[in-house]
Amino acid sequence: LREAYAARHPESLARHQAATEVMPGGNTRSVLFYDPFPLAIARGEGARLWDADGHEYTDFLGEFTAGLYGHSHPVIRAAIDAALDGGINLTGHNLLEAELARLVTQRFPSLERLRFTNSGTEANLLAITAARHFTGRRQVMVFKGAYHGGVLTFAGGPSPVNVPFPFVIGTYNDSAGAAALVKEHAADLAAIVVEPLQGAGGCIVGEPGFLRELRRLASEAGALLVFDEVMTSRLAPGGRQAQLGIRPDLTTLGKYIGGGMSFGAFGGRADVMAMFDPRAPGHLGHAGTFNNNVLSMSAGIAGLSRVYTPEAALTLNARGDALRERLNASCRAHGLALQFTGLGSLMNLHGTGAAIRSVDDVPASERFVKDLFFFHMLEQGFYLARRGFTVLSLPLTDADLERFHAAVEAFLQRYGPVLP
């Protein structure tokens, strides 16, 4: 499959080789690299992508969830055009930022006040900093398998590029373990930061009881509970927190909320966020040239108010649940130890039939299955992440989902016999 891939993509290979002369490994975004070389994507439209060699793909990755609206959605495009007409570097409070802030606070009521950033990474850095200042404590509890940004990653153990906060690392969905760690570190614990579903970790669902226990433990210890909803906010009109009925102290957002433009936000309790009020003596500074950039603000307003309405969120995620159930039924019908984990519009293939409650349950051997799956699906015209991450976005039609299911069926037929 690798050889067939290389033969099919000479232009991608040439572009990759040329790029290595100016960027290390030809890459500026680690997640996009894979062997033998990554595809060069030339263009997108709706739910379709074309690579530099002219192959067409149906996009089942959607920019790792930021591409919810698809490529060149007319409403988003009009909003960006309108912003361009008014000038893009206004160097002032503009007419859009408070409007987007109001839409976000209405949608996610635990964000009583919020501030914008340029990325989900920055949002998490600022939320952690806010919690440390508010509590006067230093330590930050996170979970193995978590991804909170390029400098806050715990997927394969803590990364050497991580910001050196003193982290306490728990096991996802292990309530008793979390309770023991909180007890041990209570006096200096500033925050518990958690994804309600671990996205990069492999779409591992946070169990409601575990997340409720974190809420209780944080309150008891006087630490702040931070929900990283950069990915999961799309799962329901009010995000995963609304589905679970859990009110975190702080929440971080990103991805689609900026309409597909650069975006991040952090917010929550008004008393915590008041630390950033520039009218207050001794306030915390939070600067950023592009925090309120009009392209993200305008696209975000259009997206939340006119496209990803609460009804649209419910429909998209119900379609995702239905697709995942069908894919899993196919895996079972073939008698294979494979499954798609996830919730709503987010799913990930795994090479085991057993329950996955944390990254410890993910077998190392699944790498082989995921590689096969990735190259098979590309050949069939479906673009998804090398690690099996699959994301539904709005322009995908029911016929696209049918074709995706058929391609998965073909994978199970063709490779089922050779899978471990």
Distances from the Cα of 165 to the Cα of 143, 162, 205, 223, 374, angstroms: 14, 8, 26, 15, 35
Query: Among the candidate windows 9-17, 50-58, 224-232, 306-314, which touches ligand PMP by CB under 6 A?
Result: 224-232
Q: Which of 12, 58, 119, 296 binds ligand PMP (CB under 6 A)?
A: 119
Residue closer to ligand PMP by CB (options 231, 301) is 231
| 121, 175, 241, 251: which one binds ligand PMP (CB under 6 A) | 121
**According to CB under 6 A, which one of 69, 147, 383, 389 is a site residue for ligand PMP?**
147
User: Of 144, 148, 269, 350, which lies in the binding site for ligand PMP, with binding defined by CB under 6 A?
Assistant: 148
Q: Could you say whether residue 231 binds ligand PMP (CB under 6 A)?
A: yes
> By C-beta, is 262 or 328 nearer to ligand PMP?
262
Query: In the bound complex, what is the minimum distance in angstroms from residue 145's beta carbon to ligand PMP?
Result: 11
Under rule CB under 6 A, residue 344 binds ligand PMP = no
Report if residue 62 touches ligand PMP, rule: CB under 6 A: no
Residues binding ligand PMP: what is the number (CB under 6 A)? 16
85 classed as catalytic: no
CB under 8 Å to 108, separation ≥6 — which residues? 229, 233, 238, 239, 241, 242, 251, 253
Omega within 30 of 0 (cis) for the link into 109: no
Q: Which of 174, 249, 255, 308 is catalytic?
A: 255
Is residue 320 involved in binding ligand PMP (CB under 6 A)? no
Residue 317 or 330: the one with the smaller Cβ distance to ligand PMP is: 317
Q: Is 370 an annotated catalytic residue?
A: no
Whichever of 70 and 239 has its CB closer to ligand PMP, that residue is 239
Residue 81 to residue 134: CA distance in whole angstroms = 40
Task: Respond yes or no: is residue 147 known to be catalytic.
Answer: yes
Closest CA to 255 of 273, 271, 235, 274: 235
b/e string for 334-363 if b means 16 or more Cβ within 10 A?
Answer: bebbbbbbbbbbbbbbbbbeeebbbbebbe
Q: Is 159 exposed, middle or buried (0-12, 13-18, 19+ CB in 10 A)?
A: middle
- Residue closer to ligand PMP by CB (options 199, 238) is 199
Q: How far is the CB of 252 from ligand PMP (least distance, A)?
A: 7
Stretch that binds ligand PMP, among 67-75, 76-84, 86-94, 226-234 (CB under 6 A): 226-234
Binding-site string for ligand PMP from residue 171 to residue 200, where x marks contact by CB under 6 A and - marks none: ------------------------x---xx
- Please give the residue whose beta carbon sits closest to ligand PMP in the complex: 120
Site residues for ligand PMP, window 293-312 (CB under 6 A)?
none
Rule CB under 6 A: choose which of 33, 34, 50, 64 binds ligand PMP. 64
Q: Is 254 in the site for ligand PMP (CB under 6 A)?
A: yes
Name the minimum Å distance from CB 323 to ligand PMP: 21
Candidate list 51, 228, 249, 400, residue with the active-site label: 228
116 in contact with ligand PMP (CB under 6 A): no
User: In the set 67, 149, 267, 351, which binds ligand PMP (CB under 6 A)?
Assistant: 149
- By annotation, the residues acting in catalysis are 147, 228, 255
Binding residues for ligand PMP, rule: CB under 6 A, are: 64, 119-121, 124, 147-149, 195, 199-200, 228, 230-231, 254, 264
